[in-house]
Amino acid sequence: MAKAFKFGLKGITGYLEPAERDLLRGLLDDVISMLDSDARDNEDPLAALIGLDMDVKKPSDRALLRLLPNVLKDDDDGSLEFRQLTERSVRESKVGALRATAMGLDKDELVLSLEDATRWSMALNDVRLVLSERLDIRDEADAEHIHSMQDWSQAEDVESYLALVYNFTTWLQESLVQAMISARQAKS
């Protein structure tokens, strides 16, 4: 059974069973596949080098839109322009954190530096955003309903299973953030 992250002499440590690591690795890989854009043929190398993507569009998948939201609420044109300038680098940054986290799942006992923990927190947040969208969490009542599902033996359908996975990743991220706070306090 997983043990919460904590800060100690070795740094930020946690423990995950092999099945928990496999579950988390699968979730990370799923989000990576959502974000990883295919290499484009005939792409302008200079545009790719500086991160421009003039062909980018607002995502139609609501979960992907949660990861890559519009920056201007009531200005679709302005949001598209901003997306063209930044989305490639945002995707690359997210994929980098997700991949680094997945690579860190090679041992039961996890030992993270503060920098590693920051990447882990970003990756877990992205996983949770996708799961929350798939679970249609819109408000506090929806979140409370999902949080009330705690017993793995009662996972009867996809929604209850996803709710349990969401709760697990939430708990994992919360313990990681608390350990990061403790680490930062110890440094100051």
* Helix-helix angle 18-35:76-103, to 10 degrees: 150
CA distance readout (Å), 15 to 36, 70, 108, 167: 29, 36, 6, 17
CA dihedral 23, 137, 152, 103 (to 10 degrees): 10
Contact present, 94 and 127 (Cβ < 8 Å): no
pLDDT at 137: 96
pLDDT at 90: 93
Q: Of 83, 87, 118, 86, which Cα lies nearest the Cα of 100?
A: 118
Q: At 179, give phi and psi (nearest 5°).
A: -65, -40
Structure tokens at 13: 């440590």
pLDDT at 50: 66
- How far apart, in whole angstroms, are the C-alpha atoms of residue 54 and residue 151? 47
Residue by residue, pLDDT tens for the chain (188 residues) are: 899 999 999 999 999 999 999 999 999 999 999 998 655 555 666 666 666 777 888 999 999 999 999 999 889 899 999 998 899 889 999 999 999 999 999 988 999 999 999 999 999 999 999 999 999 999 999 999 999 888 888 788 888 999 999 999 999 999 999 999 999 999 88
Structure tokens at 97: 């954190």
Q: Of 82, 122, 77, 79, which Cα lies nearest the Cα of 102?
A: 122
pLDDT at 53: 76
Structure tokens at 84: 């063209």
pTM of the model: 0.89
